[in-house]
Amino acid sequence: MNHHFKNQKILPAAKNIKQFERLMKTNFEYIILLDSHVAQLQALMNLANQHQKKVLLHVDLVQGLRSDEYAAEFLCQTVRPAGLISTRTPVVSVAKKKSLIAIQRVFLLDAHALNTSYRLLESFKPDFVEVLPGIMPHIIREVVEHTGIPALAGGLIRTEEEVKQAIQAGAVAATTSSEKLWKIKF
């Protein structure tokens, strides 16, 4: 499953229902749902399907669900988003087994976190790795070269220039909840 979001360079991330609803009126095919509640998921997925949107669901931020393999199984079978995003490898692993887009989120705070992430990514190859913070082009480049896994840049990206630097460094897309960055043209 190595299509790269049909060359969509911005993956807009909805922080709330209002933002999610606004995204229905955009040209984005792939969208990320950050904060949600388990009771809202089916209605939100139905809305997305009506608008031909593919939802990448951030499992760790679904209220009312523990972010574990059981939650991932439930989401894959019942909610059926296009993909799952999580910091928890077992969740991402279930997504991959179920042929959903599997996105492993890693927080690269220091060299130790980077090395731990390398070991994790070598033991299990997700479809994508989301590198946070996404404002470190040289680290994005290193992660892509070291792992061979397509990277997304996320977190603390505030300007068009930062998005472009992340893409130039090898990220296939930038994830952002900043609506002004949703308007960038590539």
Confirm whether 134 is domain-assigned.
Answer: yes
Domain count, the chain: 1
Beta bridge partners of 132: 107
DSSP string, 85-148: EES-HHHHHHHHHTTSEEEEEEE--SHHHHHHHHHHHHHS--SEEEEESS--HHHHHHHHHHH-
Asked if residue 111 has pLDDT above 50, the reply is yes
Asked if residue 1 has pLDDT above 80, the reply is no
Give me the domain span that covers residue 109. Answer: 8-183
pTM over the 0.85 mark: yes
Q: Are 175 and 13 in contact (CB under 8 A)?
A: yes
Q: Are 63 and 74 in contact (CB under 8 A)?
A: no
Confirm whether 2 is domain-assigned.
Answer: no
What CATH number is given to the structural domain containing 125? 3.20.20.70
Asked if residue 151 has pLDDT above 60, the reply is yes
